[in-house]
Structure 1
Amino acid sequence: MKKILLLLVGVPFMAQSQCWDQISSLNNSVLIQKSDGSLWGYGTNNDGSLGSAIGQINAPVVISADADWASFSSSPKTSLAIKSDGSLWAWGINANTFGNGSSSTTPVTSPQIVTQITDVASVSTDGSASFAVKQDGSLWAWGSDQYEKLGLGSGDQTTSSAVQIGTDTDWVSVKTCVYFVLALKSDGTLWGWGRNSAAQLGQGYASPGVEPDEVYVAEPVEIGDGAWAQFCGYERMALAIKTDGTLWSWGYSGHGALGLGQMAQTVLVPTQIGSDNDWSSVSTAGQVSAAIKTNGALYTWGIGMAGALGNGSLTWTNVPGQVGTATNWTSVGNSYVCTFASNSQGQLYDFGYSGNWGYQNYYTPLVFTSADCSLGIGENPRNFSVWPNPVDRTVSIAFDGNVEKFRLIDASGRVVIQGSPVQNQIDLAQLSGGLYFLEIESDGKSYRTKLLKK
C-alpha cells in the first residue's frame, strides 16, 4: 500500500560530514554538489544526464569527484557544468545541446569538455536548448529554437554551435524555463524572450494563440523596473527576488504556485508576493514553488499532492507557508510535485512524490538521525550571501552581523586579497576572472561562500 509523505519527514540523504551545497533540478533529474566540490546526481537517468549507468538512480551517486566544479544545470536529457577555470562540460544526450557543433543520440555517461566555448561564467539547459554567459559578460545560445527561445531573432535559428545573443557584454546569469528564457544584467535589470502565451515574459499582455500562429518574442525584452537579484521560472510562470529582498511573480499558474492568493490566475506584470522583504532564494517547477528567507526559514506553496509542500498537509495553498520551524535551510529546488531542500546539518530532503525520479516508487515517511556538518569550502551559510555573483567590479556582502575582515582565496588555496570591507563592499575590478572563495570573520567565527569573478 502506498503511504503519503507528511510533515518534515522526507528522504534525508546523509552527507557524511560534508554539506550539500547547490541543487539543480528539472523534471525528473537532480544534480547536487557537496561542499568538497564533488558533483552528485539521482533520479531518472534514461539518457545519461546523471552520468553513471543508464537507468533509475534511487539515491545520490557521485558523477565526478573533482573539487573544482563552479556551477551546473540539469535536465532529463542534458547536463552542463562549469569548472573554476571557466571550462564547460557536458553529458547525457547531445540534441544540439552540448555546444560542440554536433549532435548524437548516443548517451554520454560522464562529463566531457566542450572546447568550442570557453571562459564560461553561467550556464543553463533544459535538454532542448542551452545558454551561457561568458566571463566577458556576453550571452550565448545553442540548440533548438522552438518558441524562438534562442533569442537570435525571428525564424528557425536552431544550431549545434554557440551563437552570441546581441552584442551586450553586461550579462550576469541566464536560466532557461523550458518555454522561455530569463537573464540578468549587471545593472539589476531582468530580461526575457521566447513564448509569451501566459504573460510569462511580464510585458503586460499574453499571446495565447495556437502554434504556429502563436506570437513569440524572439529577442530579449526587459521585465519590470530593475533591481532584480535572483530569478527562476518554469513553462508559463516566473518568480524573482529584488535587491531589497521582496519576492515577485508573474505569468500563469493553475496550482497556486504564483503565491498571490488565487489557485488559477494569469498575472501580466511582476506583482509582489506579500510584503516581506527578507527573501534570499526562490525556486519553482510550475506546480510547486519554494523560497528561503535570510533567517534560514523554508516556505512552500502550490499543489499539496503527495506532501510536496512538506507542511503536514495535502492541501493546496496559494500563499507562502513556512515548512516546520527550522531555520537552518541553505538551498532549495523543485521538480514536478516535489521539493528538494538541504540544510546546514548536512541533510538533503526530498518532499513529495519522488517515485518518478528517485529513492522509492511510493511515498515513505522515514525517521532519520542528524549528522553535524561543519563549514567547508563552497558552503553558503544561511546568513551570508554576496551580490552580484558572478561579479564584474564591486561585490556587496549581506550578513546578519558585523563583518570584521575578509579574505579572498583562489581555487589553489592562495589568499589574493584581504582586509576590511568598506560599507560591506569589496572592489574586485583588478581581479582576474575565475572561481574564488570569499571568507569573512565575525565574532571569532569564519564563514565562506563561492564567488565567481567575470
Structure 2
Amino acid sequence: MSEDQDGWPRARWRRSAKTVIAAAAMTAVAAVLAIGVTGGMAAASERASLAAPAVSSVAAGYEHTCAIPTDGTLWCWGGNFTGALGDGTTEGRTTPVRIGDATTWARIDAGTSDTCAIRTDGTLWCWGGNHRGQLGDGTTTNRSAPVRVGTATTWASVSAGDSHTCATRTDGTLWCWGSNRSAQLGVGASVYTATTPVQVGTATTWASVATGFAHTCATRTDGTLWCWGDSSSGQLGVGVLSYRETPTQVGTVTTWARVTAGYTFTCATRADGTMWCWGDNGYGQLGVSGTHQTTPVQVGNTTTWSRIDAGFTAACASRTDGSLWCWGNNMTGQLGDGTTTNRSTPTRVGTATTWTGGLALSYHSCAVHTDGGLWCWGNNMSSQLGDGTTTQRTTPAQVILPG
C-alpha cells in the first residue's frame, strides 16, 4: 500500500481525521524527565527510575502505549478511539491508567488500533479495534476491555499487526486470525477474514512470530526464517515483488534469532550478532542507502546486535553493550536523536549504556533501561508518551507508572 505525501500510511494505519500537527504548548510535569548527558541530569533520571515500578514488557500502537511492570499489573495510555487501552471506555488518557485488577499479565503487543496480551496462566486476551476480526473473539465488534481468545491455556507469544494477529503456543504451533486480504494469515487465499485463530500448517517447531501491515514472518526452533503475505516491496525477503500464500523460507540460513516486521519492511538478527533488513527503504528504514531490497542485506558490520523492533517506517535496536540505535523515518522525532531528520544508518540514542529489552516502536518509541525504567519519545499527538501533555519529544523522557 502506498503512503500519503506527508509520509503517513493510508487508511487503516491511521485514523483518517488525524494529521501531523504541532502539539499543544508543553505543560510542566515533574514526573517526566528528559534524558540528560550531564552528571546532574543523569542523577535526576536515576532518582526518577527508583521511584517508578520496573517495567518488564512494553508495546506501542499507532496512538497508544501499554506496559506491564514486574508486579504483573497492566497500564495503558494515549488515544482510545477504538478501546485500545482496555479500560472499558473510549476516552483518551494522558497518563498511565491501570487496566483491571489482574496481577498476572506477562507479555503484550500492540497493533495499529488494538492490543493483545498473555497472562501467566497461558491465556490470551485482546481488545480495541476489531473491524477485520483481529481480536480473535469470533466477531468484528470493537472491544474496550480485554476479551479472552478461545479457551487455550498454552499461548506463548503474540504479535498484533494492522488488521491481523498471530501467536505461537507452547506446543510449537502457530495460529493467525483477522484480515487475509494479502494472504498474511499463511493459510492460503481461500479465507478472506478469520475471526478466530486458524492454525498455520502443521509444523510444531515455531519459535516466534512478527506481523507487519499485510505480511508475517516467523522463526522456527531450527533457526530458519519463514515469511508470507504481501511482498510488493520485497518485505518477505524471498526475492520477489508479489505474494506468498503460505510460509516460504528466507534463504537457507539456520541461525536466525529475532525477527520484527514494519509497515512494508522486515529486519532480523542472527545468532552471530549481525543484523539484516529487507523490503521498502523509502525512509532509510533498512539501515542502508539505496532502494528497496528483496532479499536480506546486512546492516553495517557490527556483530553485537541483541534486540530489534520495527515501527511503521523506522526501527530501533539495542547492542550487547547496552547502547540503543535507531534509523529510518524521523518526522515525529521517533529516532530519539534530538532531530526530525531521517537516518539511513543506525544513529545512537544519547550516550546511555543501560538500555535493555522491551523495545516498542510506532511513530513514537519506547524502551526500558536495565533498572526497569521506561522511556518514550516521538509523536505525542494523543498523549501516547504518557507525560500528561501532547508535546512531541525528540529525545527520550521517562514515563512514571504509579507505584
User: TM-score w.r.t. structure 1 length?
Assistant: 0.72
The alpha-carbon distance between structure 1 residues 172 and 146, as it changes in their structure 2 partners (threshold 3 A), is same
* Bigger CA radius of gyration: 1
The answer to whether the 8 Å contact 1:40/1:64 transfers is no
Of 110, 128, 137, the match for 2:172: 137
Which residue in 2 is equivalent to 1:39? 74
State the 1:315 CA deviation: 2.4
The alpha-carbon distance between structure 1 residues 92 and 274, as it changes in their structure 2 partners (threshold 3 A), is same
Aligned residues: 356
The answer to whether the 8 Å contact 1:249/1:273 transfers is yes
State the 1:104 CA deviation: 4.2
**Cα RMSD for the two superposed structures:** 2.8
Q: Does 1:233 align with 2:261?
A: yes
The alpha-carbon distance between structure 1 residues 174 and 365, as it changes in their structure 2 partners (threshold 3 A), is closer
Q: Does 1:150 align with 2:185?
A: yes
Q: Distance in 1 between matches of 2:395 and 2:210?
A: 34
The answer to whether the 8 Å contact 1:250/1:269 transfers is yes
The answer to whether the 8 Å contact 2:278/2:295 transfers is yes
Could you tell which deviates more after superposition, 298-307 or 142-151?
298-307
The answer to whether the 8 Å contact 1:87/1:120 transfers is yes
The answer to whether the 8 Å contact 2:322/2:354 transfers is yes
Which residue in 2 is equivalent to 1:334? 361
Q: Distance in 2 between matches of 1:17 and 1:115?
A: 34
Q: Distance in 2 between matches of 1:58 and 1:370?
A: 11
Q: Does 1:279 align with 2:317?
A: no
Which residue in 2 is equivalent to 1:361? 390
Alignment of 1:55-204 (within 5 A): 55-95=91-131, 96-100=133-137, 102-105=138-141, 107-126=142-161, 128-204=163-239
State the 1:115 CA deviation: 3.3
Q: Distance in 1 between matches of 2:259 and 2:378?
A: 23
The answer to whether the 8 Å contact 1:256/1:318 transfers is yes
Secondary structure of the residue aligned to 2:217 is: strand
Instruction: Give the counterpart letter for 1:229 in structure 2.
Output: A
The alpha-carbon distance between structure 1 residues 259 and 364, as it changes in their structure 2 partners (threshold 3 A), is closer
The answer to whether the 8 Å contact 1:342/1:348 transfers is yes
Instruction: Give the counterpart letter for 2:308 in structure 1.
Output: V
The answer to whether the 8 Å contact 1:4/1:306 transfers is no
User: TM-score w.r.t. structure 2 length?
Assistant: 0.81
Which residue in 2 is equivalent to 1:211? none
Which residue in 2 is equivalent to 1:250? 278
Which residue in 2 is equivalent to 1:448? none
The answer to whether the 8 Å contact 2:306/2:318 transfers is yes
Which residues of structure 1 form unaligned runs of 5+?
208-215, 372-454
State the 1:287 CA deviation: 2.3
- Taking every aligned residue pair, what percent have the same amino acid on both sides? 32
Secondary structure of the residue aligned to 1:146 is: coil
Secondary structure of the residue aligned to 2:182 is: helix
The answer to whether the 8 Å contact 2:135/2:195 transfers is yes
Q: Distance in 2 between matches of 1:362 and 1:29?
A: 15
Which residues of structure 2 form unaligned runs of 5+?
1-21, 27-33
Q: Distance in 1 between matches of 2:397 and 2:391?
A: 18
Residues 276-321 of structure 1 show CA distances to partners (whole Å, capped at 9, x for unaligned) of: 1111111121322111111111111123324322223332211112
